[in-house]
Amino acid sequence: MTRTAPAPAPAPSVTPAEAAAYFRASLAFHADVSDVAAALAAGRDPGFVVVDSRSTAAWDQGHIPGAVHLPTALVPEQAGALLDPSVPVVTYCWGPGCNGATRAALALAELGYQVKEMLGGFEYWVREGFAYETWQGQERRPADPLTAPVDAADCGC
């Protein structure tokens, strides 16, 4: 006789108000690649600074133009010299599989900075077809149709 495992129990439900509070908070703590790119491309002060929290080797492979390089482990000792505490910060690392930007954001928040994490990190910056810098100059790859909006100005969300 073959026994089948019982179906997993559904996730506990939350009230609509609890869900709204969670998602409202998520928007307060996260920015997406397209929104960061649009703000940087607008031709005026975006009102924030972008911080690349990866290693020097990763930075050298490519980084967002204008980003400040501040590896996560160095945030406590170098943030004060590199960042203006009155300017909000958006952190990023490699991509969704890396929590370096989250750890950098936590360290910056503990130092008193206003901070958000850029969802998708450098991986999705490149996959969405935005320009990036290397020691050789600016580069850009074609947008990945699975990640980039059909119309970069309006993805519909």
Please check the confidence at residue 58 and state whether its pLDDT lies above 90: yes
Full DSSP string of 102-130: HHHHHHHHHTT--EEEEETHHHHHHHTT-
At residue 149, what are phi and psi to the nearest 5 degrees?
A: -65, 150
Residue 2 lies in a domain: no
Residue 144 lies in a domain: yes
Please check the confidence at residue 152 and state whether its pLDDT lies above 60: no
Residue 41 lies in a domain: no
State residue 156's pLDDT score.
63
**Tokens at residue 123, please?**
């991986």
How confident is the model over 118-145, as pLDDT tens digits? 999 999 999 999 999 998 999 999 989 8
State residue 146's pLDDT score.
85
Please check the confidence at residue 26 and state whether its pLDDT lies above 70: yes
Number of domains in the chain: 1
> Among positive and negative, which fits the CA dihedral 35, 115, 67, 55?
negative
Can you tell me the distance from the alpha carbon of 33 to that of 122, in angstroms, rounded to the nearest whole number? 9
Closest CA to 66 of 132, 152, 153, 136: 132
Q: Residue 32: in which H helix or E strand, if any?
A: strand 30-32
Residue 71 lies in a domain: yes
pTM: 0.85
Residue 131 lies in a domain: yes
State residue 157's pLDDT score.
65
How confident is the model over 33-56, as pLDDT tens digits? 999 999 999 988 999 999 999 999
What is the domain range of residue 71? Answer: 48-148
146 or 56, greater pLDDT: 56
CATH number of the structural domain spanning residue 142: 3.40.250.10
**Helices 75-82, 100-110: inter-axial angle, 10-degree rounding:** 70
Residue 43 lies in a domain: no
Residue 90 lies in a domain: yes
Residue 16 lies in a domain: no
State residue 8's pLDDT score.
72
Can you tell me the distance from the alpha carbon of 38 to that of 70, in angstroms, rounded to the nearest whole number? 23
**Tokens at residue 63, please?**
């980084």
Please check the confidence at residue 151 and state whether its pLDDT lies above 80: no
88 pLDDT tier (thresholds 50, 70, 90): very high
